[in-house]
């Protein structure tokens, strides 16, 4: 009897350990965010227990703060431009690195990857020195340009991984059946790498929106949301307002990532047969 119970416990141990590990990771990742959201409804400027009462006034103050709205809009604008530019340029670079053979290909791939291991603080300081030497005024344009430097290699890495996993035989079949390069890219390649493109776009937007180091050194008088949070936290009484604004931003990002995840799942299902369906259509057209 005892031997049977011990054997059953050993069989269940990996499952229990896996669940415990997942719970621990979730608490570490989302515990601080949940605490931030919890105290954003506390009627006190001090983060402490017990509560002094439930209130929504911190959200009202955050909404009425003109600098907060401007900072969020600046971050959204920069992130949208940086994500779009990174996605276009990164996809083109990934295509060249994975589909073309040229001298220095390994060096070019290494240079793209090396940017990912350089701390953002160093890139921000380097950008400040660079623009100062050129006499360029710091603004949202300089923030976007320097953020493009760090997000572009990320897109290259993600899209390259999708292209490497994609069999080139389907591309060759489409070309053999009379498809042009543009038709092959549109009907065969893009459906296959659509999940990689979606994931790259999500990461690029999130990296740009949440970036502080580069925005702080190269933004000048134009504040993004992370820089605004840093500046307003110099006064402790503003902490509840930051909690409220950050809670709304965090909730919006979670919903956006969840929606993107559902879209990626749908794209993955379509992408599995997208290339074969496109080749079948091309074959049908060739027969006709």
Among residues 192, 74, 83, which one has the least CA distance to residue 140?
74
Average pLDDT over the chain, rounded to whole?
Answer: 79
pLDDT at 65: 77
Q: What is the per-residue pLDDT across 201-236, written as a single tens digit (0 to 9) for each?
A: 888 998 899 899 999 999 888 889 899 888 887 766
Q: Which residues pair with 42 in a beta bridge?
A: 54
pLDDT at 190: 77
Does residue 6 fall inside a structural domain?
A: no
175 vs 222: CA distance, rounded Å: 49
Token pair for residue 127?
């950008």
CATH code of residue 227: 1.10.3720.10
- CA 254 centroid distance within chain: 12
Q: What is the per-residue pLDDT across 74-107, written as a single tens digit (0 to 9) for each?
A: 999 999 999 999 999 998 888 888 877 777 777 8
The DSSP call for residue 118 is S
Does residue 258 fall inside a structural domain?
A: yes
Q: Are 212 and 227 in contact (CB under 8 A)?
A: yes
Token pair for residue 31?
């515990």
Does residue 32 fall inside a structural domain?
A: no
Does residue 166 fall inside a structural domain?
A: yes
Does residue 196 fall inside a structural domain?
A: yes
Does residue 33 fall inside a structural domain?
A: no
181 vs 174: CA distance, rounded Å: 9
> Is the model's pLDDT at 274 over the cut of 60?
no
> Is the model's pLDDT at 32 over the cut of 90?
no
| Mean pLDDT in residue range 274-283 | 42
Q: What is the per-residue pLDDT across 38-76, written as a single tens digit (0 to 9) for each?
A: 877 877 777 767 777 787 888 888 888 778 888 889 999
Q: Which residues pair with 54 in a beta bridge?
A: 42
Domain total of the chain = 1
Place of tokens 């809009």: 73
Contacts with 108 (C-beta within 8 Å, 6 or more apart), sequence order? 97
pLDDT at 11: 67
Does residue 23 fall inside a structural domain?
A: no
The DSSP call for residue 44 is S
Among residues 82, 220, 79, which one has the least CA distance to residue 148?
82
* Structural domain that includes position 124: 65-287
> Is the model's pLDDT at 287 over the cut of 70?
no
DSSP for 154-209 reads: HHHHHHHHHHHHS-THHHHHHHHTT--HHHHIIIIIHHHHHHHHHHHHHHHHHHHH
279 vs 274: CA distance, rounded Å: 9
Does residue 51 fall inside a structural domain?
A: no
- Phi-psi group of 5: left, alpha or beta (phi > 0 → left; psi -120 to 50 → alpha; rest → beta): alpha
Q: Peptide bond preceding 50: is omega within 30 degrees of 0, i.e. cis?
A: yes
Q: What is the per-residue pLDDT across 184-210, written as a single tens digit (0 to 9) for each?
A: 777 777 777 888 888 888 889 988 998
140 vs 122: CA distance, rounded Å: 19
Calculate the alpha carbon distances from 45 to 152, 184, 245 in Å.
40, 59, 14
Percent of the chain with pLDDT over 70: 82
């Amino acid at each position: 009897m005892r031997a049977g119970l011990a054997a059953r416990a050993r069989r269940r141990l990996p499952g229990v350990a896996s669940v415990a590990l997942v719970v621990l990771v979730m608490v570490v990742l989302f515990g601080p965010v949940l605490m931030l959201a919890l105290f954003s409804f506390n009627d006190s400027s001090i983060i402490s227990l017990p509560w002094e009462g439930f209130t929504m006034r911190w959200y009202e103050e955050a909404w009425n703060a003109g600098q907060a709205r401007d900072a969020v809009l600046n971050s959204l604008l920069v992130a949208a431009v940086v994500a779009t530019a990174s996605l276009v340029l990164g996809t083109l670079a990934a295509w060249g690195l994975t589909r073309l053979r040229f001298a220095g290909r390994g060096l070019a791939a290494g240079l793209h990857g090396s940017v990912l291991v350089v701390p953002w603080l160093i890139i921000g300081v380097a950008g400040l020195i660079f623009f100062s030497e050129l006499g360029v005024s710091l603004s949202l344009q300089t923030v976007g340009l320097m953020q493009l430097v760090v997000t572009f290699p990320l897109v290259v890495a993600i899209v390259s991984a999708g292209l490497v996993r994609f069999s080139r035989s389907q591309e060759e079949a489409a070309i053999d059946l009379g498809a042009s390069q543009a038709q092959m890219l549109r009907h065969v390649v893009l459906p296959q790498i659509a999940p990689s493109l979606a994931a790259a776009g999500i990461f690029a937007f999130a990296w740009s929106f949440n970036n502080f180091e580069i925005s702080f050194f190269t933004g000048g008088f134009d504040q993004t949301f992370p820089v605004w949070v840093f500046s307003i936290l110099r006064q402790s009484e503003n902490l509840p307002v930051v909690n409220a604004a950050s809670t709304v931003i965090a909730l919006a990002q979670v919903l956006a990532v969840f929606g993107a995840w559902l879209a990626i799942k749908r794209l993955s299902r379509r992408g599995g047969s997208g290339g074969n369906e496109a080749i079948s259509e091309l074959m049908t057209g060739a027969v006709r």
